[in-house]
Amino acid sequence: MEIKTNDILQKYPVGKSENLIPILQDIQDVEGYLSEASVVEVGRHLQMPTGKIYGVATFYNQFRFKPLGKYHIQVCRGTACHVLGSATVLEEIEKELAVKSGNTTRDGMFSVEVVACIGACGLAPVVAINGNFHAKLTADKIKELIDNYRNQE
């Protein structure tokens, strides 16, 4: 990871903080997100405090700080899904994958995100995995669903 960051940094002069945003864009293009290590590297190169870099990066919509998993699970928490028990679905997913929403599993296979209504109220509770909808989920169906994706490997 850091080697890549270094390669990118070589293209930009030391201490020129005006290049911060292009550098972050380049890093995210290559690595998919901004890791803490990258941000620290960038700070060293540009002689900028990491807090400032983080402040800049979180200001703009473009930047992410966690890699998405190979399978990105979006759990709908809209009203309809909520009423039909999406909370337990989410709980079960978190338990099965041993991650909290907003995070990615250690093996990088799955990331979990809670989203507002994705407009599939008729399918509630609904979960989208890489954009594919899985309808009318209950807690007991979660293991099978996730295993299906695991077994695709």
Partner 1 sequence: MSFLIEVNNKQIEARKGEMLLDSLNRHGIKVPTLCHLKGKFPSGSCRMCVVENSNTGRLVTACSFPVEENLKVQTHSPKVIESRKLIVELLLSNHPDDCLFCVRNKNCELQNLSEELQVRDRRVKGVKNNYHMDRSSASIVRDPDKCILCGRCVRVCEETMGVSAIDFINRGSESIVGVAFDKGINTSSCVNCGQCIMVCPTGALTEKNHFPELLSNLNNPSKTVVVQYAPSISVSLAEEFGMSPGKDINGIMNAALRKIGFNFVFDTTFGADLTIMEEASELIDRVSNNGKLPMITSCCPGWIKFAEEFYPDLIPHLSTCKSPQQMTGAIIKSHWSDKMNLNPEDIYSVSIMPCTAKKFEAQRDEMTNKGITDVDAVLTTRELAQLIRMYGVDMHNITPETTDTPLGFRSSAGKIFGATGGVMEAAIRTAYFMITGKELVQFKIETLRGVKGCKEASVKAGDLTVNVAVVSGLQNARELLEKVESGEKEVHFIEVMACPNGCINGGGQQIGADEEAVMSRMKALYDIDDKETIKVSHQNPDVIQLYKEFLGKPLSDKSHKLLHTHYKKRDVLL
Partner 2 sequence: MEAQANISVKDFLIDEVLRDFSNNSKDEQVQEKIAVIKNEKIDQPIIYIGAGTCGLGAGADKTIKAVKKYLSDNELEAKIIETGCIGLCSAEPIMDIHLPTHNRVSFEAVTEDKVDGILDNVFSLELPKDAKSMGQFKSYQGKDWENLNFFNEHPFFAPQYRIVLKNCGIIDPVNINEYIARGGYKSFIKVINVDKPFDVCEAIEKSGLRGRGGGGFPTGKKWKFANGEKSDQKYLICNADEGDPGAFMDRAIIEGDPHRLIEGMAIGAFAIGATEAYIYIRAEYPLAIKRLEIAIEQAKEYGLIGNDIFGTGVNFNIKIKKGAGAFVCGEETALMHSIEGKRGMPRPRPPFPTTSGLFGKPTVINNVETFANVPGIIEMGADKFAAIGTENSKGTKVFALSGKIALTGLVEVPMGTTVRDVLFNVAGGVLDNKKFKAVQIGGPSGGCIVEKNLDILIDYESLMSVGAMMGSGGLVVMDEDTCMVDVAKFFMDFIQRESCGKCIPCREGTKRMLEILESITGKPQAGDNNEALERFKGVMQLEKLCAVIKDTSLCGLGQTAPNPILSTLSWFRDEYEAHVFDRKCPSGVCTNLKEYKIDVDLCTGCTICARKCPVDAIIGSKKQAHFIVDTKCIGCGVCFDVCKFNAVNVV
Sole binder of partner 1 in the list 17, 19, 25, 40 (CB under 8 A) = 40
- Scan for tokens 């809670």, then name that residue: 114
Do residues 50 and 57 touch, judged by C-beta distance below 8 A?
no
Token pair recorded at residue 127:
């979960």
Our CB check for partner 2 shows the closer of 20 and 129 to be 20
Give alpha helix (H) positions in 47-85.
Answer: 50-59, 79-83
Sole binder of partner 1 in the list 8, 9, 53, 137 (CB under 8 A) = 53
Sole binder of partner 1 in the list 22, 32, 51, 108 (CB under 8 A) = 51
Residue 121 is a binding residue for partner 2 (CB under 8 A): yes
Residue 25 is a binding residue for partner 2 (CB under 8 A): yes
Q: Are strands 71-76 and 110-115 parallel, antiparallel or unpaired?
A: parallel
Q: How many residues does the chain have?
A: 153
- The candidate with the shortest Cα–Cα distance to 62, out of 109, 24, 91, is 24
Do residues 109 and 91 touch, judged by C-beta distance below 8 A?
no
Our CB check for partner 2 shows the closer of 32 and 108 to be 32
Residue 97 is a binding residue for partner 2 (CB under 8 A): no
Do residues 117 and 86 touch, judged by C-beta distance below 8 A?
no
Do residues 5 and 41 touch, judged by C-beta distance below 8 A?
yes
Residue 137 is a binding residue for partner 2 (CB under 8 A): no
Sole binder of partner 1 in the list 1, 2, 11, 59 (CB under 8 A) = 59
Residue 112 is a binding residue for partner 1 (CB under 8 A): no
Question: What residues make contact with partner 2 under the rule CB under 8 A?
Answer: 17-22, 24-25, 46, 55-56, 59-63, 79-81, 83-84, 121-124
Question: What residues make contact with partner 1 under the rule CB under 8 A?
Answer: 36, 39-40, 43-44, 49-55, 58-60, 65
